[in-house]
Amino acid sequence: MSLFTRAVDISSATRIAITDCIFVALAEREGCELLTADDKLMKNLPEYPIVSLSSL
């Protein structure tokens, strides 16, 4: 599955912007955490490997 296809799947399932979901899909594919300052993104996608910048 391509990165874009996975991002579209995440976006469709969660109603999150595709631009945000591309970063989520990339972190998922690479097996690492996504570091973000967007607390709303983190709250809306709790099942994905996202870490808030404010937690550091």
* 8-53 per-position pLDDT tens digit: 999 999 999 999 999 999 999 999 999 999 988 988 999 998 999 9
Annotate 14-29 with DSSP letters as a single string: HT--HHHHHHHHHHHH
What confidence score (pLDDT) does residue 36 get? Answer: 94
Helix, strand, coil shares, percent, the chain, to 5: 60, 10, 30
* Residue 54 pLDDT exceeds 90: no
pTM comes to 0.86
DSSP character at residue 34: E
What confidence score (pLDDT) does residue 33 get? Answer: 95
- The Cα 56–Cα 50 span in angstroms is 13
Domain that holds residue 33: 3-55
- Provide the domain count of the chain: 1
